[in-house]
Every structure is written in structure tokens, then in C-alpha cells.
Amino acid sequence: EAGVAQSPRYKIIEKRQSVAFWCNPISGHATLYWYQQILGQGPKLLIQFQNNGVVDDSQLPKDRFSAERLKGVDSTLKIQPAKLEDSAVYLCASSLVVAQVVGEQYFGPGTRLTVT
């Protein structure tokens, strides 16, 4: 079974530029998550989708971050404009939903963003 795919794996941009990350979840997984992991910290949830809809985006900095999940499969996370403090690893995860209960989360390899 293929795992969660993410691209690119690495990205270096200058502050005030924009950047986009792509995630393809495990086939059949209705729930998709984006996490931000700053060096030395645990991952922090940015946004959670179930199918096409947003379940939780309370920790997403909406003035600069946006995310979408078209057709309930792939998802894109965008940052515009980027700040130095956005330097982090961006992790995508997916999980099955059974009887309205979210199951184990499976993570992709992440995208390491460096903002200079």
C-alpha cells in the first residue's frame, strides 16, 4: 500500500515570497491533516479536512496561510507572504474514518521549508 506522498521535499525561499506544498493521502482516507514542526518542537496541527470540508483550522495563521482539498483527495498548503518564522517542516497525514471515529494517522515524509 502506498503511503502519504508529499512534494517538494525541500524548499528555500526569501521572506515575502510565496510557496505551495502538495500532499496526496493514502487511498480511501477521508481525513487529511497539515502539521507544522519547528526545529526542536513536536508537530502542531494547522488544519484538518474531512473529505472536502474543513473540520479545524483554529491554529492556521489565516492572514498568510491557506489550504484546500479539492475533490476530497489531494491537498495544497500555501504560504503568502512567507516570514522567517515559517521555517519548519510541514507534515501531511491522513487517516480513515469509521463510524465517525478517526483512526490512526499516517504521516508523509514532510517538506522542509527554509525562509531566508
Residues that bind other proteins (CB under 8 A): 33, 35, 40-45, 48, 55-56, 91, 93, 100-102, 104-110, 112
As measured in angstroms, the least distance from the Cβ of 40 to other proteins is: 7
Nearer Cβ to other proteins, position 51 or 80? 51
- Nearest approach in angstroms of CB 28 to other proteins is 17
End-to-end Cα, the chain, rounded Å: 37
For the bound state, the minimum distance from the C-beta of residue 58 to other proteins, rounded and expressed in Å, comes to 10
